[in-house]
Amino acid sequence: MENPDLTIQKAHQGLIEKEFSATELNKLFLERIEKLDKNFRSFLTITENLALLKAKEIDALISAGREIPVLAGIPLAIKDNILVEGVKCTAGSKILENYIAPYDATCIKRLKEQGATILGKTNLDEFAMGSSGENSAYFITRNPHDLERVPGGSSAGSAAAVAADLAIFALGSDTCGSIRQPASFCGVVGFKPTYGAVSRYGLIAMASSLDQIGPIAKTVEDAEIVYNVISGKDEMDSTSVNIDKNLKPRTYNLKSIRIGLPKEYFAKGIDPEVEKIVRSVIKKYEDSGARVEEVSLPYSTDHSLATYYIIMPSEVSANLARYDGIKYGHFTKTADNLFDFYLKSRREGLGQETRRRIMLGTYILSAGYYEAYYLRAQKIRTLIKEDFDKAFQKVDVLMTPVSPTPAFKIGEKMTDPLSMYLSDIYMGAVNLAGLPAISIPCGKIGKLPVNFQIIGNKFEENKIFEIGKFFENL
C-alpha cells in the first residue's frame, strides 16, 4: 500500500479479514511519516513505541478470534495541545518545550479504550492562536496540495497529516474554526461538536467558553465514528453533557429537510469561485428534494468576529497567566529580580501572536474597560445565539462557505493580523453560540480544495452527519 488512502471502515475491514495486521498497518504509516513528513512538517513528536505496543495488543485479540472495536488498531494523530500520558505536550510553544503530560485527556482515554493507536502529536499555532499554521514556535506546516500555501490553523498538523495520508484520522481543537478551516484548506472533513458534547479535560485551554475538541477525517462517516467514541459526560469537566448513546440514530428523508442560506454569508468579500462551488452543492441538495430558503443572521455576521476578538483574548489572558516560569515550563536564567524573571520568562517563551492576545485581553479586563468591552461583547454574544435560535425555528440546518478563500500563500498575511482574522469570518459565530458544524470537501479551485459548512442546532450532530453523508454519496 504505497498510498493507503484508507478510511476507518476500510482499515477495520482489512484488519478483521486479515488482509494486513495492525502492526503492519501502523508500521506503514510510521514509514510514510518518516519518508514524507519532511515535506509537510505536520508532526512535532512521533510515538512509535506507543503505536506499535497497542497494535501488538490488537493483533493478539484478532489472532484469538476476539471481536474488536471499529477503532482498534487504527492509526491516528493528536493535536499537540491535547494531553497523552507520558508524551511531550508543547501546545506549539517554547514555554512548554519540555512539558511531559502527566495524564491522558478524557478523549484520549476513550480512544485508547477502543484500541486506537497514536502515531504522534501534530504541529499547531502556538496555544491554538492562529489561522494558518505559521504561528508555531517550532516550524511552519505546509499544505499537502501546494507546499507554498498554508494548511490553515490552528489544527494545521492534524489536517495536513490526514490529507497527506500520514494518519487515518486526527483530533484537533476548534475555538473559532480551528478544525473546520484547516480541513477546508486541506480538503478533508473537520467536525466541531456542540459545546459540552466532548470533554475538554486534558485540553490545554485557550478560551474555555469557546474551545471544543473534534475529529478530522477522510469522510463524514469517519468523523461520526470518532465523535461517538469521544463524546459524552465526563465527571472531570463540569461543562460536559450526558449523551444517550443507546438511542437509535434517527434517519432523515432529504425531502423533509429545510436548508437555510444565510444571505450575509454570500455577500461582498467571498471569492467568486468559492461562492460558485458552494452554491452548486446547495443546488444538488435542492434538486434532490431538500427545501432551500434564505435566512438572515445579522448579529452573527456583522458582529461575531469583533465579539470573538474581545471574549477570546480576555479568556486567553486569564488562562495563560499560569505560564510564569515558576510552576512549570520555560524559565529565564538571566533575571535580576522576580519581576524581571516573570517578564523575561514569558518574553522568551511566548510568541508574538500569543503576547498580542494576552495584552489585548488584559487591557479589555482592566478597570474602566471591562464594562465598555467585555460586558458588551457578552451581550452581543446573547444576540448571536438568538440569531441562530430564530433561524432554526424555520430550517433544520444552515449551509455556508467555510472560508471566503482557498488556502493562501505562506507569509501572505503574517504582517496583517486583521486580514488573517477575517479568514475566520464564517466560523466564529458557531463557537460563540456553542453549535455543532462540519466542514466537507466539495470542489477545487485549481489544485486548492474548497469545503462547505453545515451548521446544526445544539446536540443535533446526527442530523448534520446524515445530511453530510448524503452529499458524499451523490
> Would you say residue 173 lies in a domain?
yes
Domain around 157: 8-230
How would you label 354-389 residue by residue, b for 16+ Cβ within 10 Å and e otherwise? Answer: bbebbebbbebbeeeeeeebbeebeebbeebbebbe
pLDDT at 417: 75
Helix (H, G, I), strand (E, B) or coil at 465: helix
Cα separation, 277 vs 286, in Å, equals 14
How would you label 41-77 residue by residue, b for 16+ Cβ within 10 Å and e otherwise? Answer: bbbbbbbeebbbebbeebbebbeeeeebbbbbbbbbb
> Would you say residue 86 lies in a domain?
yes
Each as own residue / partner, the long-range contacts of residues 330-336 (CB below 8 Å, 24 or more positions apart, any chain) are 330/94, 330/95, 330/96, 330/97, 330/98
Q: Which of 21, 54, 79, 192 is catalytic?
A: 79
Cα separation, 191 vs 369, in Å, equals 35
Active site residue 379: no
C-alpha distance from residue 15 to each of 76, 206, 216, 451 (Å): 16, 38, 22, 31
pLDDT digits (tens, 9 = 90+) for 127-185: 999 999 999 999 999 999 999 999 999 999 999 999 999 999 999 999 999 999 999 99
Q: Which of 132, 136, 155, 178 is catalytic?
A: 178
Residues in contact with 337: Cβ distance below 8 Å, sequence separation at least 6, in sequence order: none
Tell me the three cell numbers of residue 274.
Answer: 468559492
C-alpha distance from residue 190 to each of 91, 197, 226 (Å): 20, 16, 11
* Whether the predicted pLDDT of 4 surpasses 70: yes
HSE, side-chain direction, 13 A CA sphere, residue 398: 33
Let me know the angle formed at the C-alpha of 200 by 303 and 193, rounded to the nearest 5 degrees: 55
Residue recorded with cell 458552494: 278
Residue 14 phi, psi (nearest 5): -60, -35
Q: Which of 42, 131, 154, 231 is catalytic?
A: 154
pLDDT digits (tens, 9 = 90+) for 57-84: 999 999 999 999 999 999 999 999 999 9
* Whether the predicted pLDDT of 249 surpasses 70: no
> Would you say residue 350 lies in a domain?
no
pLDDT digits (tens, 9 = 90+) for 342-393: 889 999 999 999 999 999 999 999 988 999 999 999 999 999 999 999 999 9
For residues 410 and 135, is the Cβ–Cβ distance under 8 A?
A: no
Q: Which residue has the higher pLDDT, 251 or 235?
A: 235
> Would you say residue 139 lies in a domain?
yes
> Would you say residue 201 lies in a domain?
yes
- pTM assigned to the model: 0.96
Active site residue 154: yes
CATH for 128: 3.90.1300.10
pLDDT at 474: 80
Give the count of beta carbons closer than 10 Å to the beta carbon of residue 445: 16
Confidence of residue 253 (pLDDT cuts 50, 70, 90): confident
Sheet with 291-295, strands from edge to edge, namely 43-46, 117-122, 75-79, 169-173, 213-217, 189-192, 437-445, 448-456, 397-401, 258-262, 291-295
Active site residue 238: no
pLDDT at 2: 63
Alpha helices in 350-460 (DSSP H): 352-364, 376-392, 417-421, 428-433
The count of domains in the chain is 1
* Whether the predicted pLDDT of 251 surpasses 80: no
Confidence of residue 328 (pLDDT cuts 50, 70, 90): confident
> Would you say residue 163 lies in a domain?
yes
> Would you say residue 189 lies in a domain?
yes
Q: How does the average pLDDT of the chain come out, rounded?
A: 95
pLDDT at 329: 81
pLDDT digits (tens, 9 = 90+) for 82-123: 999 999 999 999 999 999 999 999 999 999 999 999 999 999
Cα separation, 163 vs 145, in Å, equals 8
pLDDT at 419: 74
pLDDT at 269: 82
pLDDT digits (tens, 9 = 90+) for 420-450: 877 788 999 999 999 999 999 999 999 999 9
Question: Chain centroid to CA 221: how far?
Answer: 17
Among 429, 427, 377, which Cα is nearest to 401's? 427
pLDDT at 3: 66
pLDDT at 300: 86
> Would you say residue 360 lies in a domain?
no
Residue recorded with cell 486526527: 170
Among 271, 292, 270, which Cα is nearest to 281's? 292
